[in-house]
Amino acid sequence: MEHEIGDILTAVVELARFLNVDAESALQKANDRFVRRFTLMEKKALERGLKLQDMSLEDMEALWQEAKRDLGEA
């Protein structure tokens, strides 16, 4: 499985190069967005007296979408 994932990542990097996109920069920005959204999700859950580990995937997805909207990333 690891080998196949490596092949997929290589293909994505090649696509980025073809599109003149810096793959490393794109990945860093994606990581930054993830951290912002996840941090906000945790904050919202805490404010509501919830724990992410106790939430359903559907409830976590709803918080994720709410965080995206609140951050203007939706």
| Averaged pLDDT for residues 25-30 | 97
How far apart are alpha carbons 31 and 27 in whole angstroms? 6
Count structural domains, the chain. 1
pLDDT in tens, 35-51: 999 999 999 999 999 99
Q: Is pLDDT of 8 > 90?
A: yes
Q: At a CB cut-off of 8 Å and minimum separation 6, what does 43 contact? A: none
| Contact of 41 with 60, CB cutoff 8 Å | yes
Q: At a CB cut-off of 8 Å and minimum separation 6, what does 12 contact? A: 23
CA atoms within 13 A on the CB side of 14: 6
pLDDT at 42: 96
Identify the domain containing residue 32 by its residue range. Answer: 2-70
* Mean of all residue pLDDT scores within the chain: 96
Length of the chain (residues) = 74
pTM of the model: 0.82
pLDDT at 74: 78
pLDDT at 32: 97
